[in-house]
Amino acid sequence: MTVIVAGNGIGKSTLLRIVAGASVPTSGTVIGRPRTVGYVPERAPAAIRMTARQYLAHIGRMRGLSPGETNARTNELAERLRLVPGPDVPIAALSKGNGQKVAVMQAFLKHPDLLVVDEPATGLDAPARAELTALMAQAEQDGARILLSVHESAVPNGRMYRLRDGKLEPEALRGMRVSLRPTRSGLRAGDLGAEVLLEEPGRVVVRTDDADKLLLTALADGWSLIEAVS
């Protein structure tokens, strides 16, 4: 897993679109892209009149799946991600969060060789974020390469790079003081499994020797990263 961190307007979404094959670079070339690429955009197209099942049936045909395989996988992913009210509703009628779940479903419809995920927490509720983390972990275990971008957010286990001035610079994660912001009520600093240095409304600072593990937990639970300092 390779993780890219950058703020808004820096170009990380453009980079991921180029890697996934959704955009063509104005110069340079992309080499080594595998045949099966799963791509989860930061924001899924919302004005689609097809139902999620119809849309995924189309995606499945393009990816060489049989109708039976596509239908079974659609039902499995809809249940895992808790797609409400289900896959037989027009995508345009779904809430933003459930529309984003359909974007996740199409990326995992066929097991990817390369998985490109732009801002995994965007628009998803906590259970869906946790399920996306589990799907990514399974894909990695099955041999997929994963490229993940985050906006100063929780970072799962992997190599981390910061995008600055059009270049990727390696960034260490371990042995850090980590400042986190809860994005929903009920989150407790003590559940993070790290030494709590400061806890105040809207902000928690912890110290950990295993930032990868801490941030994986934070991503699944719904924390947002403010700052990580080694």
Res 175: pLDDT: 61
Q: At 222, phi and psi to the nearest 5?
A: 110, 20
Res 17: pLDDT: 94
Structure tokens at 123: 């628009």
Res 154: pLDDT: 46
Question: How far apart (Å, rounded) are the C-alpha atoms in residues 120 and 150?
Answer: 7
Question: How far apart (Å, rounded) are the C-alpha atoms in residues 159 and 214?
Answer: 15
Task: Assign 96 to helix, strand or coil.
Answer: helix
Structure tokens at 40: 């989860």
Topology of domain 2-171 in CATH is Rossmann fold (3.40.50)
What is the value of pTM for the model shown? Answer: 0.71
Q: Where are the domains of the chain?
A: 2-171, 172-230
* Helix extents (H) in the chain: 12-20, 52-62, 67-81, 96-107, 126-141, 211-221
Question: How far apart (Å, rounded) are the C-alpha atoms in residues 30 and 151?
Answer: 24
pLDDT at position 109 over 50: yes
Q: Of 26-30, 48-52, 225-229, which range is least confident?
A: 225-229
- pLDDT tens, 31-56? 999 989 999 988 777 788 899 999 99
pLDDT, averaged across the chain: 86
Task: Assign 100 to helix, strand or coil.
Answer: helix
- pLDDT tens, 125-181? 888 888 888 898 889 889 999 998 876 544 455 678 888 888 888 875 556 778 898
